[in-house]
Structure 1
């Protein structure tokens, strides 16, 4: 079986050395997205790229006439590429399984998948499901992608995969549909939706979101807590976040927490460890002094650069790693 490569890279600059050379049958003016490498033997027959467009990511089965109940509503840069495979030596199922295997190997979260030889049923990858998805996310540019939506007299099989990847520069969703259009024609439509991260300082925690994260993960990042550069001095802009944290703590008076500071990896460990601890202490003291939170409920600690959430090789990664978290603490016996 051929193996398909799925790659996550920092940017388009690495594109030319990471994907296979364009095939002779590619139409003019197309540019393969570096996140997904084509299945060997495919050629690009249609592409549409736009920024800041909405896209509804389907994550559930068909529930009624032209209806799916479960969607994730997204917006961002959308790259839609339609591939053709001509020949009788590969069936749609082999191409579908290669895409699935490659996404799983690249640590994508598979939100939904399914395929069948006759397109029957209502699940992900069925004929009904494909019809609903591409009515909602219609192709606004004409071209050979129309074969994906026109059906086939041979009732060849089809399958779809919906996947998600959390990246340093935002969440990426991939929706892949592969269909056996005829005995010697397999079409594949790959939609890649790259969402943008929120602008620095604009995201503020709220009590409900904090509660949901604590219940699921046992911790929550305190977005909106801002410090002076290289200091443990809270900025005035942190007040809305502190208000929300205090609201959450008041609503859960029996819970106790660690306040944990984190830094990026720039500088020495000793310095960063101290800075992270001082910042955690500053948040704890602000809550105790300004909101009458019992000191016994909050214990401040710093871990410096020991628990990054993204690589420190980029500015965005460093920004994500500089954070303060609230971690649930079990009461002493």
Structure 2
């Protein structure tokens, strides 16, 4: 198996037996747009590439759970038979699929996969049954523009939700076979499948951490000279970043790209559990891990980043309680 690929597995059950149908998904294809990556916990259709992406730490989002019957291009407001108005972290991805696959095939693969990832389907529709204004709706509120706005005939749509305690993740999956429309940032041929995947995370995550936004990072550095990077997460006594750290890393990278002259220190801190020397080494390794991810995933110049480990030497809370120790285990951003 090629190391940088994962399997997308779904099961078709017959009266005789269950047959496994697999297709691959890539973590970071060479053709992916720089700075774009799959939504955590979600696979992609085989050999597809991320053409465009967008993310916001907090956004309002209308999730269609019924037919889209009208659209006002002046106000960008849609008439929808059933919907959910959501607020939370929004990730939007536009994938292009190599020619040969149909929208029906790609849609079926996603639909078969989603239950294994913990998602429950809320609504699905195809072609005209999803409404005459479906293309206008998706064109107006996310990456792709006319590429997803002018090709409704072979479209497929699905809304789903995954519940994790008080937190919920909603998925809006819109798949078309490109017919018409122009976007200077996307090259696609007639009949080629394009996938728009929107993910909205609402409620409180299990760890209770909310990443600091790019705007807030800039503000805090200017006002207090230091930012505690909530949402940078590691397993106990390890320096490998957990997948749940991605939203926070997205915001740090966004801040650094908005201010390309800025150089920063990434400072790792620990609680006082364990030996002093091991905590110093661990804090250094964690700071270096954040710096390395910003370089490899987002293309930030390594010369702008310097990791430093402070270990248990700068607590912000008492190490007597679990709550205090949790606060002391952190990574901070400080201007150079």
TM-score class, shorter: 0.3 to 0.5
Higher strand proportion:
2
Normalising by structure 2, what TM-score? 0.46
